[in-house]
Amino acid sequence: YRPGRMGLPKFWEGVNRLYRGSGAGNNNLQGRTVQRVKNLIGYEESSMENLQKKKDAWILTEQQHYGIGRERTLKKYMEWTGIDMENRKCPAIKWCNTGELE
């Protein structure tokens, strides 16, 4: 609870109430964000070319400022996590579920 007298506004509506009929998990706004992340990690359906075909290339606006960083390449990251983009498989990732690196 955050009283208004503290100057902290409270948003009472659920996200999906703003976008009725959008499905269970992702609404239109969240779906756009998911497309940006998918583009970043190499999903073919979220490539610049495919987004341009759907007239959704604007989703990648300012994308050049964001990336996976310089610590490791995307390929090295995928090997480290065990995520297989080609076969669309993701193993149980211990560090993700338990916070342990080893």
**Hey, how many other C-beta atoms are within 10 angstroms of the C-beta on 2?**
9
Q: What is the pLDDT of residues 37-92, one digit of tens each?
A: 888 888 888 999 999 999 989 989 988 888 888 888 989 988 888 888 888 888 88
* Residue 27 and residue 15 in contact, taking contact as beta carbons nearer than 8 Å: yes
Would you place residue 17 in the very low, low, confident or very high pLDDT band (cuts 50, 70, 90)? low
> Number of C-alpha atoms within 13 angstroms, CB side, residue 9?
2
pTM > 0.85: no
Residue with tokens 């964001």: 66
